[in-house]
Chain A
Amino acid sequence: MKPQVSQSAFIQAAMNPDLETPRGIVGPDGMPAPKRFSVYRNNIIVSLKEAMNDGFPAVASLVGEPFFAAMSDIYIRQNPPKSPILALFGADFPEFITKFEPAASLPYLADVARLEFALRLAYHCADTTPVDPQAFANANVFSATLSFAPTVSALRSDYPVTQIRVAALGGPQPTGGAEDVLITRPDLDPIATAFPNGTVAIIDALQAGLPFGEAIEAGPDALDLPAFIGTLISGGAITKLEYDNV
């Protein structure tokens, strides 16, 4: 009986270089062919590392290529993609970074990864039609409830995460401290806008269905309200304004 190579045995050996090439994998001479098998070991890990580099360019830049390659290697072997849609690959990379000891000296790194992944998700989100900006000129606007486009998300960081990302990609050095970040997609390219710590509470309150005015009260005093509303409008963030006509 010739040895049969199950796909389970194949993939285990392919993802673990310490395991031997499965018996039954041969060259044209019928002899075992570990170097031939290693083509697959290499292809899988190299292609997924490329996906990580494409998906997290700022993280890669912050830690440098050799470190990022080593970190990605460990991540990929522990968390292979769960879907053929590689645009979604890396969702749990921020969480992985928080537990990755060698990166502990860069406490903001996980937030940068979180931001990069949020921008990537927004890039692929469904297209929606935002409300006419004139709707915000309604005198009663603060009594309205707002619906968000799927492209909108928010995150909190103890660090100036948007600036760190920009600096990592070749921009000026970061200044300042903690940020709350609003991600919007004005047309097809998502952007991240920083606001004072606590601003995300407004988004949370709006998503919970509170009227605009009440939601704003949940935000920080330091918030530049016109700038915040301006970002919602220019970012096409609001798809519906509804008034409770009681």
Chain B
Amino acid sequence: MMRRINSLPKGVGVGYKPQHFSDILNDPAPVTWLEIHAENYMGAGGRPLAQLRALSDKFPISVHGVGLSIGSEGRLDPDHLARLKHLNTWLEPASFSEHLAWSTHDMGFYNDLLPLPYTETTLKTVCDHIDEVQDSLGRQMLLENPSSYLAFSESSMDEISFLREVTTRTGCGLLLDVNNVFVSATNLQMDARAYIDAFPLDKVGEIHLGGHDEDEDDHGAPLLIDSHGREVADPVWTLYAHTIEKGGVKPTLIEWDTDVPDWSVLVDEAKRAVAHLSPVPA
């Protein structure tokens, strides 16, 4: 089967919010591509699809699913996979990505990216699901590393070993969320830089950057929450710079999903990312 490979430009994109529609068309500034959440564009028509069509005439679009539940113990929802296929066929996006997480159980959809243990059993299930997605869509997908708040005592391998094995078995690419790395490393008391150093960066087709909130765990230690509701934190920028230095320039997305700011604020964040991608003048 012909497999469509991801083709996002190696520049900076932003997560599209409808309130920015006119701003983006009038003055996209440094933004060269857009990402949408697939589930917001699964209606039959109306303004959402009309806007998306108009944007897709001007920008490469990345379709980012948040509801496929690839980490489910049970099978993928065939109706939802069919909707994704329809959107992919209609839009022909530059990239399709989903999460290493689950959100659906027993016909209920819980609208969060829920965690799974890393075991031989979950590895096989996730790989089967990714095979099914890639076969159905006729393209390679990217799988995003999660933000972790807790661990499972049953886990028998670390996250990077798990992700590496998934890419080997399925041929999928990875979406590296650098904020998630920082959040998980803080929360699980690991070294974020060592995570990046061990990550299969050659498999990364896209990077995400977003803001997080700060809380405390059961013992008063810092617990970071992946909220996407503010600017990217300084140590995440530092980690991003390290990632680019080590893995080269990648398509990079600014995510801001709650308390969405004015377009100009997103542009400022995008400019900050662009500065990391430009070669340093000699």
**Which residue numbers of A lie inside 8 Å of B, CB to CB?**
2-8, 10-11, 14-15, 24-37, 39-40, 43-44, 47-48, 50-51, 80-87, 122-127, 150, 185, 188-189
Which residues of chain A are near B237, meaning CB under 8 Å?
none
| A200: min CB distance to chain B, Å | 23
Partner of A24, one of B43, B46, B154, B216: B154
Which residues of chain A are near B105, meaning CB under 8 Å?
7-8, 11
**CB contact under 8 A between A7 and B152, given known A14-B110, A84-B67, A87-B43:** no
| A137: min CB distance to chain B, Å | 28
What is the bound-complex CA distance between A49 and B67, given in angstroms? 17
Q: Is the CB of A25 within 8 A of B150?
A: yes
Q: Is the CB of A189 within 8 A of B47?
A: yes
Chain A residue nearest to B44 in the complex (CB): A126
Q: Is the CB of A27 within 8 A of B150?
A: yes
**CB contact under 8 A between A3 and B153, given known A82-B109, A84-B67:** yes
**13 sampled A-B residue pairs with Cβ under 8 A:** A3-B153, A3-B154, A5-B152, A7-B102, A11-B108, A25-B150, A28-B189, A39-B215, A39-B225, A43-B112, A50-B258, A82-B109, A123-B43
**CB contact under 8 A between A80 and B110, given known A11-B105, A36-B217:** yes
Q: Which of B43, B80, B258 is the most central at the interface, judged by chain A CB atoms within 10 Å of its CB?
A: B43
**CB contact under 8 A between A44 and B111, given known A33-B218, A84-B67:** yes
What is the bound-complex CA distance between A127 and B53, given in angstroms? 13
Other than the given A36-B218, A40-B149, 10 more pairs (CB < 8 A) read A25-B152, A25-B153, A36-B149, A40-B112, A43-B112, A81-B110, A84-B111, A85-B39, A126-B45, A188-B47
Q: Is the CB of B46 within 8 A of A185?
A: yes
What is the bound-complex CA distance between A72 and B115, given in angstroms? 25
Chain A residue nearest to B218 in the complex (CB): A35
Chain A CB within 8 A of B137 CB:
no
What is the bound-complex CA distance between A11 and B44, given in angstroms? 31
Chain A CB within 8 A of B131 CB:
no
- Per-position binary interface string of chain B over residues 97-133, scored 1 when its CB falls under 8 Å from any chain A CB and 0 otherwise: 0000011111111111011110000000000000000
Which residues of chain A are near B109, meaning CB under 8 Å?
80-84
What is the bound-complex CA distance between A8 and B43, given in angstroms? 29
Q: Which of A8, A39, A43 is the most central at the interface, judged by chain B CB atoms within 10 Å of its CB?
A: A39
**Which residue numbers of B lie inside 8 Å of A, CB to CB?**
39-40, 42-50, 66-69, 72-73, 80, 83, 102-112, 114-117, 149-154, 187-190, 215-219, 223, 225, 258
Which residues of chain A are near B187, meaning CB under 8 Å?
28, 36
Q: Is the CB of A123 within 8 A of B150?
A: no
What is the bound-complex CA distance between A149 and B114, given in angstroms? 39
What is the bound-complex CA distance between A51 and B111, given in angstroms? 10
**CB contact under 8 A between A123 and B154, given known A48-B111, A81-B111:** no
Q: Is the CB of B45 within 8 A of A27?
A: no
Closest 7 interchain pairs by CB? A84-B67, A124-B43, A126-B44, A127-B45, A36-B150, A188-B47, A126-B45
Q: Is the CB of A44 within 8 A of B106?
A: no
Q: Is the CB of A26 within 8 A of B80?
A: no
Q: Is the CB of B114 within 8 A of A28?
A: no
Which residues of chain A are near B151, meaning CB under 8 Å?
25-28, 30
Chain B residue nearest to A85 in the complex (CB): B42
Partner of B43, one of A31, A39, A125: A125
| A185: min CB distance to chain B, Å | 7
What is the bound-complex CA distance between A51 and B49, given in angstroms? 20
What is the bound-complex CA distance between A185 and B112, given in angstroms? 32
| A212: min CB distance to chain B, Å | 26
What is the bound-complex CA distance between A80 and B112, given in angstroms? 12
Q: Is the CB of A5 within 8 A of B154?
A: yes
What is the bound-complex CA distance between A176 and B167, given in angstroms? 64
Partner of B114, one of A40, A126, A127: A40
| A36: min CB distance to chain B, Å | 4
| B254: min CB distance to chain A, Å | 20
Which residues of chain B are near A44, meaning CB under 8 Å?
110-112
What is the bound-complex CA distance between A87 and B73, given in angstroms? 26
| B162: min CB distance to chain A, Å | 16
Q: Is the CB of A26 within 8 A of B152?
A: yes
| A22: min CB distance to chain B, Å | 9
Which residues of chain B are near A80, meaning CB under 8 Å?
108-110
Partner of A35, one of B40, B111, B154, B217: B217
Which residues of chain B are near A8, meaning CB under 8 Å?
105-106
What is the bound-complex CA distance between A31 and B105, given in angstroms? 26
Q: Which of B69, B154, B188 is the most central at the interface, judged by chain A CB atoms within 10 Å of its CB?
A: B154
Which residues of chain A are near B215, meaning CB under 8 Å?
39
**CB contact under 8 A between A7 and B72, given known A34-B218, A35-B223, A44-B110:** yes
What is the bound-complex CA distance between A51 and B67, given in angstroms? 15
Which residues of chain B are near A150, meaning CB under 8 Å?
44
What is the bound-complex CA distance between A81 and B105, given in angstroms? 11
